[in-house]
Structure 1
Amino acid sequence: MTVSPFDHPILSGLLGDAELAGFFSTEAELDAMLRFEATLAEAEGAEGIIPADAAKAIAAVLPRAALHHAALREATQRDGVIVPELVRQLRIAAGQEHGVHVHAGATSQDVIDTGLALRLVGILSILDARLAGLIATLDALGARDGGIETMGHTRMQAAIPVPAARKILSWRDPLIRHRERLAAVRADLEIAHFGGAAGTLEKLGDKGEAVGRRLAAALGLAYVPRPRHSERDGIAALASWLSLVTGSLGKMGQDVALLAQSEVAEVRLAGGGGSSAMPHKVNPVGAEVLVTLARFNATLLSGMHQALVHENERSGTAWTLEWMLLPQMVLAAGAALRTATTLVDGLTFVPKE
């Protein structure tokens, strides 16, 4: 038993997404942080901030450093973030001579936010690919069944006959717009965060920008001249986008559930859920899941907008709220896209007799 349905040993079969969940594993998070610290050392060595031999040694040792997870957990309870204990362990791993140069000029939020950005590159690529695949599946459904007549409904009442293509396009076109929106979302997220204690890089003197540019380039992220430690509009925009995606898929799920009603029977589902008491039923489980996930993300979105309120140069409360909410929203969107593709792939519009 777990507290989240996304990694529940049973419910994850309905709501989970193992591929995306991997990006939020302890290993993935720590690997991204170690990559930041190793790359930072190389960038600072190249700019003469730390000795070149120290930079080389740190970059070689950190990616394979053995970390003590129990100590990280205990220290996070005390410090509120993982990084102070992580840096302590990395300095020991780098050795007495070079360890002092680990994390030079950086702060905890640089490590954590850049680590998230590195993982979001892969996450958003997967979501984009799934959107593209779902759009293609809807196109195929439209090409095959788009000419079949269905009854249009307004305000839950029968209106006038419309072709199935009318319904399919109302599912497909928002997804195309979501893919277009994603480019702007990614531009605000796939950035390197590097500002030091209060975002001024005061410990690097006049080399702060040069180090930041080297760091970003080596990590494959965009450089921004000022860190966005307390400017969370990019993260909030991602949350909004995730809710838009699940909301559009929820609309499709609601439509399919209504079309599949026994009294309507305008679509047939290849795979449906059975009943323990009524063996004749074919429950529209996939469609129902889409509605559930849409409502789930819409609920969490308000929390992510609460997390926009970062006091002064850094907030412990708002930042922690992001950690609690964003992974669930990502997994909900991923599960919804996966479920929707399976649903559409097995959906057939039924011609009227």
Structure 2
Amino acid sequence: MATYVIDSALFRDQFGTEPMRAIFSDEATVQRWLDVEAALARVQGNMGVIPAAAAEEIQRKCKVENLDLAQLKAEMDRTAHPIVPLLRAMKKVCSGEAGEYIHWGATTQDIMDTGTILQVRDGLDQIETAYRELYDNVCTLARKYRDQVMVGRSHGQHALPITFGFKAAGWAEELRRNFTRLRQMRERVLVGQFSGAVGTLAALGNDGIEVQNRLFDELGLACPNITWHTSRDNIAELISVLAIACGTAGKIAHEIFSLQKTETAELEEPFMPGKVGSSTMPHKRNPPVCEGVIAVNRLVRATVPLAIEGIVADHERDKVVLQAEREYIGRIFNMVHVALKKMAFVTAGLSVRVENMEKNLYIQKGLLMSEAVMMAMSDRFGRQEAHEVIYQICMDVFEKGGSLKEALMQNDTVSANLTEAEIDRMLEPYAYTGQAGVFVDRVLAVPLAG
């Protein structure tokens, strides 16, 4: 029985994914602890720090299937400790005296932090794959609709014409920057932890540094210059960057949600037969996928302050910070991954209503093109005076109705300086998208990092 949405049989796929749940499952968590213990034994056996035969036996037995997780949990409850019960269980599993040599010179947090970082590495691989898919889909939209004119909006109101390709290229550029952040973050986050009780490796004497270096070579992690037991800026960066990455997915979802509104109807998330919008209104075609991504993005964003708060940790060890991380790291990875996967799905099958984009260009009867007229008039009167003239004309159209063309033609100042043919050209939205296409091409020309 699950009491949280990520593990709920009913809701789990709205808040997480099967691959990410597997990476942060109990079985995977314990296995990653055992992977670290096995690698440590292998390194120390090769160096002669512990007997080679003991090291080999530890490696053979460091498999989660050799442990009873229910019994392990009971011992964790009894001892109020996560790793001591694991070590006692492994001692029973290992033949002879081999179990005496497991965890040699390590401390609990070494094993747990390094195990978490191994899970983080697996999780980042999944996220980057989903990110590439979303990025490719958005680039396809930018390329396909490079020159498809639509209304550009500011403050929620019609502003000037843009192209849908231009909008999608803006999404793509943001995604590309986030992908670069994800890649660059790895060098600071994928760092192992092995430094003993207070970080000095005192238990291993002169062998400590070599054991540490060899251990992280074995695990494929970077070696820290000094312990990070209570230096949690790396975890804060991890969660912050994941939140930024998720934020862009949420932004795209929000724009699609907004442009799917009935009055606009320029975009629609994929619709499949059988998808129901309402239990009482059969006509509804809601955007539940985008809504879910927006909701998940809020949950992810709300966790960032908790991660940053963990930077202020106590002296050489702080279990309070670790307990908080244990709650949110797997949760955030699940939520970010599901947001990216869902938006990859949405952008792959996005319905682009070209006819509505074009219809909406004209619903204000020319007001969308006020800047073009003002700039033309600026050549005659200067920009500020032209703005005043066109502003008053536009406000009259807003209040009294009619079209901008009619109002311009009826204005003595405008009609004395602009012909009807010139006004018609200025009011043509397809001729006023500026360098939108060039910007699309520039974005598409830059490859994704890595």
Q: Normalization by structure 1: what TM-score? A: 0.95
- Per the alignment, residue 156 of structure 2 pairs with 156
The 3 A distance-change label for structure 1 pair 80 and 145 is farther
One-letter code of the match for 2:295?
A: T
- Per the alignment, residue 305 of structure 2 pairs with 302
- Per the alignment, residue 367 of structure 2 pairs with none
Q: Does structure 1 retain, via aligned residues, the 8 Å contact 2:41–2:103?
A: yes
Matches within 5 A, 1:74-153: 74-153=74-153
Matches within 5 A, 1:161-172: 161-172=161-172
Matches within 5 A, 1:1-353: 2-63=2-63, 66-271=66-271, 273-351=276-354, 352-353=358-359
Greater Cα offset, 257-266 or 46-55: 46-55
Q: Does structure 2 retain, via aligned residues, the 8 Å contact 1:273–1:285?
A: no
Separation in structure 1 between the aligned mates of residue 317 and residue 19 of structure 2, nearest angstrom = 32
Separation in structure 1 between the aligned mates of residue 8 and residue 72 of structure 2, nearest angstrom = 24
SS class of match (1:151): strand
Greater Cα offset, 49-58 or 294-303: 49-58
How many residues get paired? 353
One-letter code of the match for 2:3?
A: V
Separation in structure 2 between the aligned mates of residue 160 and residue 81 of structure 1, nearest angstrom = 62
Any gaps of 5 or more consecutive residues in structure 1?
none
Separation in structure 2 between the aligned mates of residue 215 and residue 335 of structure 1, nearest angstrom = 33
Q: Does structure 1 retain, via aligned residues, the 8 Å contact 2:230–2:313?
A: yes
Q: Does structure 1 retain, via aligned residues, the 8 Å contact 2:151–2:158?
A: yes
Q: Normalization by structure 2: what TM-score? A: 0.75
Greater Cα offset, 53-62 or 194-203: 53-62
The 3 A distance-change label for structure 1 pair 264 and 77 is same
The 3 A distance-change label for structure 1 pair 195 and 19 is same
One-letter code of the match for 1:346?
A: G
SS class of match (2:268): strand
Q: Residues 70-126 of structure 1, C-alpha deviation per residue, up to 9 Å, x if partnerless?
A: 332233234444101101111222234222111111010011111111112211111
Separation in structure 1 between the aligned mates of residue 214 and residue 244 of structure 2, nearest angstrom = 35
One-letter code of the match for 1:288?
A: E
Q: Does structure 2 retain, via aligned residues, the 8 Å contact 1:76–1:82?
A: yes
Offset at residue 301 of structure 1 (A): 1.2
SS class of match (2:97): helix
Greater Cα offset, 116-125 or 183-192: 183-192
SS class of match (2:6): coil
Any gaps of 5 or more consecutive residues in structure 2?
360-450
Q: Residues 33-81 of structure 1, C-alpha deviation per residue, up to 9 Å, x if partnerless?
A: 1111111111111222112222122222223662132332233234444
Separation in structure 1 between the aligned mates of residue 270 and residue 74 of structure 2, nearest angstrom = 50
One-letter code of the match for 1:322?
A: E
Separation in structure 2 between the aligned mates of residue 76 and residue 281 of structure 1, nearest angstrom = 51
The 3 A distance-change label for structure 1 pair 81 and 159 is farther
Offset at residue 294 of structure 1 (A): 1.3
Larger radius of gyration: 2
CA RMSD after TM alignment: 1.6
Identity over the aligned pairs, expressed in percent? 29
The runs of at least 4 consecutive aligned structure 1 residues that moved more than 4 Å come to none
Separation in structure 1 between the aligned mates of residue 240 and residue 78 of structure 2, nearest angstrom = 32
